[in-house]
Chain A
Amino acid sequence: MTDSIFAYAGQILRVDLSSGKTWTEPFEAEDRRKWIGGTGLGAKILWKEVPPEAGWDHPENRLVMATGPLAGLPVWGTGGLTVVTRGALTNGATNTQANGFFGANLKCCGFDAIVIQGQSPEWVYLHVHSDGVELRDASSLLGKDTWQTQQALEEVTALNGHNLSVYSIGPAGENLVRFAAIQGDYGHVASKNGCGAVMGKKKLKAVAIERGKKGIAAAHPRALYAAADEIAHNLKTDASTRGLYLFGTLGGVRNLYGMGALPIRNYTTNVWPEDVDTKKWEGKNLREGFDHRGHQCSACGMHHCHMLVIGSGRHKGEVVDEPEYEGWSGAGWAIGATEPSEVAWLNDRLDRACVDVNEFGWLCGWVMECQQKGYLSDKDLGFRLEWGDVEGANRLLQMIYRREGLGDLLAEGVKRAAEKLGGEAADCAIYTEIGNTPRGHDHRSRWEEMLDTCTGSGGTLDTAPPVQPTEFGLPARIEPQDPEAVPKQVGVLRGRRTFEDSLGACAFTTRVSMHVLCRSVEAATGWDFRMEEAIRNGRRTAALLRAFNLRCGIGPELEKPSKRYCSTPVNGPVAGVSISDHWEKMLDIWYETVGYDRKTGRPTPETLRSLELEEVIESLWGAEVKT
C-alpha cells in the first residue's frame, strides 16, 4: 500500500484457474472513486470482461469476491464480502453479500478484491495470506460440507476465529445445483443466483484468507471514529433498528406475520395453524429459547449473529448457526414447519450443503403442495413429503445436492422444475420470469419488494426496504398496497442499496442516515463525499448491471411474477387484495422514475450520461445516439 491510499489496499488479486496463474493489478484512484468497491467494482468487471456468449458456466465468466472502503476499519459490521458474477439461475448478473471476516482479512492481506476466471482442471482452493497467494489441491476436501471444509482448513493452517476466514461450497456447489450458495465463517452466506454453482464449475472448493498483517489507514481517523460512533448510536436508539440491534432479524417472523408478509405453506394461507405457540416466534423469545454463543462479525457490536445450542428434541445438544429471519422463513414457515429447534437444524443443513434457503423453501413448499394436491405422486418423488416434515425436507435436500432421482430436476431451481412439470403444478410455483425467486416474504403484502424482485438486475432485490426515505424527499411511510406510491418509492430509492453493497459493510449496520454513512466514507477515504455522489454512484452501478443483463438477453418481457407469486391472498391482513390489476401501471411509473425506457428496458441515453456511463450508450443504443 502506498502512503497516499486511504481506506483501500489499492490492489486487486487476479486468479486464472485454467492456467493456475495469479497476479495483481492496481485498483486505480479513478476507479475507486467511480465504483467504490464491492458491487460497483464487480459490475464494472462483469461489463468489461464477460461477453454475452460466456454464460454462467463458461470459463470466461468471472467470480468477483470484493470488499469495500469500510472493510477492516472500526465501523460496525465491516467484514463484508460482495460476490458478483453471472449467476446460474438467471444466467445474468448476480449481486449477493455476506459478512464474517472475509473483507477485513482480505484488506489486511493487501487486496480489495479477488477476480477469479477460468476453470481449474482439478479441484483446488485458494489460500491468501500476507506473504503470498497459493492455489492448493482440494481433493481431500471434496464431499465435505461447508463447516467441515472450514474445520479442515483451520487444521491445515493452525488458525481459527477471525484469524482465518473461509468461504467455501458444499456438495450442492460441487454438483452444480443452480441455487448453490457460497457459505463462510460458520453461517454467513452469499446466497443468491447460484454463485456457488459458478464456483463449483470453476472447481474452486474454497477461498481461505488469513488475517493479514498489512495496515488499513483512514484519512481522518478521529472523524472516522466519530462517524462510527454515530452509526452505532443510531442503530442502538432508532425506533426501527433498535430491535435489530438487540435481536438481529428474529423479530421479523412476528412482525411480518402481522402484516401478512410471512410466507406460510407456499403462499396457500396467511394464517398460521391454531396449534402454533405464537409467543415462541417473537424475536425476544426466539433468542431466549436457546442457549447462545456470540458470533459477531468483524468490528460489530450488534447482538445479531449467534450460534445456538439446540436444547430439546432429536437434535438436542447440536450447535448450529442461529437462523436469520430468512432461515426461519425458508426452512420453516414456507414449508409448514413450526417447531423452532427443528427449523434451526434444517437451516443449518442447508447452510452446510450450501443452498440458498429462500429458493429451497419455495422449492420444498411447492413439492409439498404438489404432493398434497396429487400433481406429484409418491412414486415420482420416491417418498411422501407432508407439510412441516423437516426430516423429509432434509431427505429432499440430499436428493437435490446429490442430483438423485427427481432431485436432479429440482436442482435446476423452482422455475425450471415448474416449467418441466407444467400444468396445474406449474401454477403453484413461486418465481419470477427472469428465473430467480423472492426473499423469504409473502410479497403479496409488500408490493415494493415484488416490484423490486422482478425488476432487479442482481438476482434478488436491487433496492430493498426503505431506510429513512425522507432523506430522498419521500414520505416517511406509504401504504404498502398503493399502486402509485409504491413504484415511485422503489424508483426514487434506487441506488442506495447498491451503494451500501459497495462499501464492504453489512446491510444491517448501514440502515442509518445516508449523511452519516457518507461521513464515514469521507473520513475513511479523505474524499469530499456527499449523499448526492453516493446515490449517483449506486444508480450508476445499478444501471450497469441492467445493461449487462440486457446484453445477455434478459429484457423487460421477463419482469413479471409467476401466477402464484402474484396471486390474491385468500385470508390474513391483505385478503382479497391483488397486485395483478396494477402491475403494468406500476411498471410504467417505476420506469419513468428511474429514467429507463419502458419498451426496451434500457436506461435512456440521458440517464446514462447523467451517470457518466457514456461508454454504455453505444453498446445499448447504437453509435448514432452517442453524441
Chain B
Amino acid sequence: MQMSEPVFKVNVELMAWATVFVGGDGSDRKNAEVDAFSGDTVRAVLKRLSARHPDLDKALWHEGTDSLSEHLEIAVNDALLGIHHTLESEVKAGDTILLMGQFMGG
C-alpha cells in the first residue's frame, strides 16, 4: 500500500521531566513536529512519535498495548485530555499536544 503524503504537522511538546523520554535531561522543553494525515487521531500522532523513541513508547503506553500508562499526563491545546479531546479525537493543523510527568507531589 502506498502511503499518502502527510497533509499537516502536529506539534508535540514534552515538558520538563517528560523530555528524558526523548533524550533530554529532564528540564526545559522539547518539541517534535509530527506528520499527520487527514483523519488522524491524537492516538495516531502519539503512536507515530513514540515509534521513534523507545523510552517514550515504554512510558506512554501500558506494556506495549494501545492503552495509556499512568506515567505521563497529556493536554491537547492546553486542556487536559478528556475535556475537549480524547485519544480518538481527530487532530487538526496547528494542534499542540503536551506531554508532562504524572506526579502528584508529597
Contacts across chains A and B counted by CB atoms under 8 Å: 132
Nearest CB to that of A441 among chain B residues? B105
Find chain B residues with CB under 8 A from A465 CB. 104
Verify if B95 is at the interface (C-beta below 8 Å from A).
no
Chain B residues, Cβ within 8 Å of A279: 27-28
Contact status of A284 and B106, CB under 8 A, knowing A240-B71, A445-B80, A481-B82: no
Contacting residues of chain B (16-48) with chain A, CB-CB under 8 angstroms: 16-17, 20-21, 25-28
Q: Which residue of B lies closest to A449 (CB)?
A: B104
Question: Per-residue 0/1 for A216-255: is the Cβ within 8 Å of any B Cβ (1 yes, 0 no)?
Answer: 0000000000000000000000111011101101011011
Q: Across the interface, name the chain B residue whose C-beta is closest to A238.
A: B71
Report the bound CA distance from A482 to B86 in whole Å: 12
Task: Please state if B79 and A441 are interface contacts (CB–CB under 8 Å).
Answer: no
**How far is A22 from B21 in the complex, measured between Cα atoms in Å?**
55
By beta carbon, the residue of chain A nearest B15 is A258
Would you list which residues of chain A between 320 and 347 have a CB under 8 Å from chain B?
Answer: 324-326, 329
Partner of B16, one of A283, A325, A507, A572: A283
Give the residues in chain A near B55, CB-CB below 8 Å: 239
A42 CB-CB contact with B under 8 Å:
no
A33 within 8 A of B: no
Known contacts: A254-B100, A324-B106, A577-B83. The answer to whether A477 contacts B26 by CB under 8 A is no
Min CB distance, B60 to chain A, in Å?
A: 9
Q: Which residues of B contact A258 (CB under 8 A)?
A: 15-16, 73, 75, 98, 100
Q: Which residues of A contact B20 (CB under 8 A)?
A: 242-243
Chain A residues touching B, range: 35 or more
> Shortest CB–CB separation between residue B40 and chain A, in angstroms?
21
- Interface presence of A143 (CB below 8 A): no
Per-position binary interface string of chain B over residues 77-106, scored 1 when its CB falls under 8 Å from any chain A CB and 0 otherwise: 011111100100000000000101111111
Q: Does A152 contact B (CB under 8 A)?
A: no
The contact size tier of chain B is: 35 or more
Find A325's partner among B62, B79, B100, B106 (CB 8 Å cutoff).
Answer: B106
B70 touches A574 (CB 8 A): no
Contact partner, B79, options A244, A324, A326, A574, Cβ 8 Å: A574
Contacts of A572 in B (CB 8 A): 78
Taking a contact as CB atoms closer than 8 A, the residue among B69, B80, B98, B105 that contacts A252 in the complex is: B105
- Contact A251 B62, CB 8 Å, known A240-B70, A283-B16, A469-B70: no
- Does B106 contact A508, Cβ atoms closer than 8 Å? yes
Whether B16 contacts A251 by the Cβ 8 Å rule is yes
A243 contacts B101, C-beta separation under 8 Å: yes
Is A575 an interface residue, CB under 8 A from the partner? yes
Q: In the complex the two chains form, is B59's CB within 8 Å of A239's CB?
A: yes
Nearest-neighbour CB distance to chain B for A618, whole angstroms, equals 39
| A553 contacts chain B at the CB level, 8 A cutoff | no
Inter-chain contact A507/B28, CB cutoff 8 Å: no
Is A255 touching B83 in the complex (CB atoms < 8 A)? no
User: Which of B71, B80, B82, B104 has its CB near the most chain A CB atoms (within 10 A)?
Assistant: B104
Contact A251 B82 (CB under 8 A): no
If the complex has contacts A279-B27, A282-B27, A283-B16, are A243 and B75 also in contact, measured as CB distance less than 8 A? no
Residues of B within 8 A of A283 (CB): 16-17, 26-27
Are A255 and B26 in touch, CB under 8 angstroms? Answer: no
Is the C-beta of B49 less than 8 angstroms from some C-beta in chain A? no
Instruction: Give, as a whole number of angstroms, the nearest-CB distance from A481 to chain B.
Output: 6
A595 at the binding interface (Cβ < 8 Å): no
Complex Cα–Cα for A441 and B73 (A) = 16
A573 in contact with B75 given A279-B28, A481-B80 (CB within 8 Å)? yes
- Choice from A240, A440, A441 contacting B102 with Cβ under 8 Å: A240
Contact B105 A573, beta carbon cutoff 8 Å: no
Across the two chains, which residue of chain B brings its CB closest to A577? Answer: B83
**Which are the 6 A-B pairs with shortest beta-carbon distances?**
A479-B82, A325-B105, A252-B105, A239-B59, A476-B62, A239-B71
A residues with a Cβ closer than 8 A to B are 238-240, 242-244, 246-247, 249, 251-252, 254-256, 258-260, 279, 282-285, 324-326, 329, 439-441, 445-446, 449, 464-466, 468-470, 475-477, 479-482, 507-508, 572-575, 577
Q: A441-B104, A477-B69 are in contact. List 14 more A-B contacts (CB 8 A).
A: A239-B55, A239-B69, A244-B103, A255-B16, A256-B105, A258-B75, A259-B75, A282-B17, A285-B27, A326-B106, A476-B69, A477-B70, A481-B80, A481-B83
Offer 12 A-B interface pairs, CB within 8 angstroms, sorted by A.
Answer: A247-B26, A252-B103, A252-B104, A255-B102, A256-B104, A259-B75, A282-B28, A325-B105, A477-B69, A479-B80, A480-B82, A481-B80
Residues of B at under 8 Å CB distance from A?
15-17, 20-21, 25-28, 55, 58-59, 62, 67-73, 75, 78-83, 86, 98, 100-106
